[in-house]
């Protein structure tokens, strides 16, 4: 099954010798959707479509196959590589500038969970801490499934390391919410899942809650009954098990407080099990249940999949797809239905919460805040500055008014950020702001001899192409002696050529 993770909010427990009753009024449910952060095409979580998509759980951080204590996104990208190749730091900063936020999920179905691969507890703590510090998150998710679920030794290391990371946050005057995401049947957690919860509580980890992966049940699902029936049965079973787990450490939770520590995460649309389909109607039922019971959090796998399948695929399909749900959604999105009438707020750091490797000011621009008088500095722009006479193939990234944009398809002449009635009418997608510390990316190059070398004595007419070294340029108007790539009064007569893919 596809892995999910946890969600949000934190409610502590008092690990005391005597039984303490907690009877505070339950809080409202909250919503945040999972995003497969390394899946292509990239889901644009930095520019959410609306409030339901504004808080996300980025997944998954796992262990480097060759260096078990090194965290990798999707088993392929170091934190630095994710910043360079996935624009992760920039997208997170952009999302936060709109009022949204992120949680990081560790583990998942694929790859090797950090605690399983890293046998040095101190190094394991450092691995978790490096991710928390890099993205300045106030909430993390531990998605434990597969072989990691039964790995008792790895579980003990995980509990010890997470307790230390949580204590570090407290020492800094912060809090770190920790959600456990575990597979559930209609009868609730497996014995291994219960053991994982017990390990964390016994170590003194202040769990925000236990998030059930209410998906891929394989049993307990009837073709004639709504899939939501199985989801709610699993949630009710998990609620009892959460109460029991806290009772074992000497803490009595009343029913509302126990519901605050329960998460529900369905897999939207077609599940991995062919006969199991979670519909929009199921989402409405789960939303109502969560609001009625004060469930701590709702999520879904995944925002990447929250769309109908498009041609050449049929709208309804029984084979799981990564970028569509496989069901008829009408005009609705699963995120909006699940989040209806719920606050979608993640815990945040008290201070500026931009990724620490590339901090930004609290005045980071929103998609509509760029103004025409902003001047882009080539020395601090990670990509070439947009030129109205330039040609930009799809996938090209440029800087305009201190924001990075990516071309959705070939374009020329239309400025990024130009108001349009429909975002799909723009050839540009906002990636995020230029970050302090950004430096120019390497210029595009072509093989030697692709065009003549520029010569300062040569007279060049409009459309002439040259190379300076291996960097290609095209003349915008007549010139002589003006070196390509060098700023000039009134503008350079040269525009950088961005080679099309494969050129």
Active site residues: 145
Tokens (6 digits) for 7? 């969600």
Sign of CA dihedral 70, 76, 79, 81: positive
What is d(CA 464, CA 445) in angstroms, rounded to the nearest whole number? 17
Cβ-based neighbour number of residue 285 at 10 Å = 17
What is d(CA 60, CA 148) in angstroms, rounded to the nearest whole number? 14
CA of residue 299 relative to chain centroid, distance: 13
Cβ atoms of 268 and 283 within 8 Å: the answer is yes
Q: DSSP label at 66?
A: T
What is the SS3 string spanning 181-217? Answer: EEEEECCEECHHHHHHHHHHHHCCCCEEEEEEEECCC
Q: DSSP label at 152?
A: H
Question: CA separation (Å) from 80 to 337, 355, 440?
Answer: 36, 11, 16
Q: Mapping DSSP to helix (H, G, I), strand (E, B) and coil, where does residue 257 land? A: helix
Cβ atoms of 87 and 74 within 8 Å: the answer is no
The residue behind tokens 């390497």 is 442
Cβ atoms of 30 and 344 within 8 Å: the answer is yes
Q: Mapping DSSP to helix (H, G, I), strand (E, B) and coil, where does residue 58 land? A: strand
Helix 152-171 × helix 191-202 angle, to 10°: 40
């Amino acid at each position: 099954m596809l892995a999910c993770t946890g969600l949000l909010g934190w409610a502590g427990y008092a690990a005391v010798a005597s039984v303490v009753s907690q009877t505070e009024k339950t809080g409202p449910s909250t919503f945040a959707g999972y995003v497969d952060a390394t899946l292509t095409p990239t889901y644009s979580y930095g520019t959410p479509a609306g409030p339901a998509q504004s808080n996300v759980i980025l997944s998954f951080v796992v262990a480097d196959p060759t260096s078990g204590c090194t965290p990798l996104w999707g088993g392929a990208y170091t934190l630095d590589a994710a910043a360079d190749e996935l624009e992760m730091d920039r997208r997170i900063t952009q999302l936060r500038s709109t009022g949204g936020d992120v949680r990081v999920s560790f583990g998942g179905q694929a790859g090797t969970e950090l605690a399983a691969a890293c046998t040095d507890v101190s190094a394991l703590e450092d691995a978790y801490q490096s991710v928390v510090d890099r993205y300045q998150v106030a909430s993390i998710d531990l998605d434990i499934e597969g072989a990691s679920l039964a790995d008792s030794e790895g579980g003990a290391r995980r509990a010890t390391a997470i307790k230390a990371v949580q204590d570090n946050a407290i020492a800094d005057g912060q809090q770190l919410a920790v959600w456990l995401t575990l597979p559930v049947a209609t009868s609730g957690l497996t014995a291994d899942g219960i053991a994982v919860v017990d390990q964390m509580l016994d170590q003194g980890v202040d769990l925000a809650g236990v998030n059930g992966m209410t998906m891929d049940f394989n049993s307990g699902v009837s073709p004639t009954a709504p899939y939501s029936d199985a989801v709610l049965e699993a949630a009710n079973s998990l609620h009892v098990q959460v109460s029991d787990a806290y009772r074992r450490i000497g803490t009595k939770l009343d029913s509302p407080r126990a519901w605050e520590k329960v998460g529900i995460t369905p897999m939207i649309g077609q599940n991995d099990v062919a006969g199991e389909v979670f519909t929009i109607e199921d989402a409405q039922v789960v939303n109502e249940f969560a609001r009625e019971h004060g469930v701590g959090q709702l999520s879904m796998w995944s925002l990447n999949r929250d769309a109908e399948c498009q041609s050449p695929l049929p709208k309804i399909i029984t084979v799981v797809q990564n970028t569509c749900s496989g069901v008829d959604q009408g005009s609705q999105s699963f995120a909006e239905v699940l989040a209806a009438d719920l606050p979608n707020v993640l815990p945040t750091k008290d201070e500026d919460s931009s990724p620490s490797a590339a901090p930004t000011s609290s005045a980071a621009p929103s998609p509509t805040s760029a103004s025409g008088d902003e001047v882009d500095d080539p020395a601090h722009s990670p990509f070439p500055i947009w030129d109205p006479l330039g040609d930009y193939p799809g996938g090209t990234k440029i800087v305009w008014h201190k924001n990075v944009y990516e071309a959705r398809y070939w374009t020329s002449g239309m400025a990024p950020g130009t108001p349009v009635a429909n975002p799909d009418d723009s050839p540009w997608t906002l990636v995020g702001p230029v970050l302090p510390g950004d430096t120019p990316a390497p210029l595009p190059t072509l093989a030697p001899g692709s065009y003549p070398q520029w010569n300062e004595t040569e007279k060049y007419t409009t459309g002439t192409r040259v190379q300076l070294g291996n960097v290609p340029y095209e003349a915008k108007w007549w010139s002589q002696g003006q070196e390509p790539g060098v700023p000039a009064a009134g503008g350079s007569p040269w525009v950088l050529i961005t080679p099309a893919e494969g050129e």
